[in-house]
Amino acid sequence: MNPSYLEYAANGFYLLAVFLAARNSIHTWWLGIIGCALFALLFYQVQLYAEVLLMLFFIATNVIGWYQWGRASGIKQVSSTPLPRLAGYGALALLVTVLYGYMLHRLTDAYAPFVDSAILMFSVIAQFLLMNRKLETWWFWLIVNTLAVPLYLSRELQLTALVYTGFWFNAWYGLYLWRKLTAAKPGIV
């Protein structure tokens, strides 16, 4: 399958948004809204229904993140999340992945419902961490991108898989940059 104009546009906007997120830029949010809306349409066309739901979630959280990052006062600095809380987030993601994946498997014609659900749940956690400028967001994005690339390849979304491979590398870069930000402000971590 050749990439459609919709796939090109979705990837273009989303690629720029993710690139800017790693660089701690507020412009990540409005570009993300456009990219997510386009991806929602694309994923619906290829029966990745959990991905559609995820994109709708991202649109809402991009609006909130844009507001949070743009406030003149009370802007959050990059900080770390306590390990017990991260473990709880991971356990919650696994539980909901199994439950939602089972529901999609039983009630829809969804393709790869459990992998699709895992991408959904780990992305939700990563997004909340990103909105709150938590360093560990990048670890969750690494999980998401590791799962997403083979899933998109299996649906013949080669361009999207290629872009998500780039996102995987970008997550490593974001982790590196945000670690530097936390090291520069030792009282915040």
pLDDT tens, position by position, 51-61 = 899 899 999 99
Which pLDDT tens digit goes with each residue over 45-93?
988 888 899 899 999 999 999 988 887 555 668 889 999 999 999 999 9
**Domain-embedded: residue 189:** no
**Domain-embedded: residue 39:** yes
**Could you give the CA distance from residue 141 to residue 123 in angstroms, rounded to a whole number?**
7
Going by C-beta distance under 8 Å and a sequence separation of 6 or more, which residues neighbour residue 145? 164, 165, 167, 168, 171
**Domain-embedded: residue 30:** yes
Host domain of residue 143: 5-184
**Domain-embedded: residue 55:** yes
**Could you give the CA distance from residue 101 to residue 141 in angstroms, rounded to a whole number?**
20
Compute the radius of gyration of the chain from its Cα atoms: 16
Which pLDDT tens digit goes with each residue over 27-47?
999 999 999 999 999 999 988
pLDDT of res. 75:
60
| Long-range CB pairs of 36-40, under 8 A, 24+ apart, other chains included | 36/62, 38/6, 38/9, 38/10, 38/13, 38/14, 39/10, 39/14
Q: Is the pTM higher than 0.85?
A: no
User: Pick the residue with more confidence: 183 or 37?
Assistant: 37
**Domain-embedded: residue 82:** yes
- What is the number of structural domains in the chain? 1
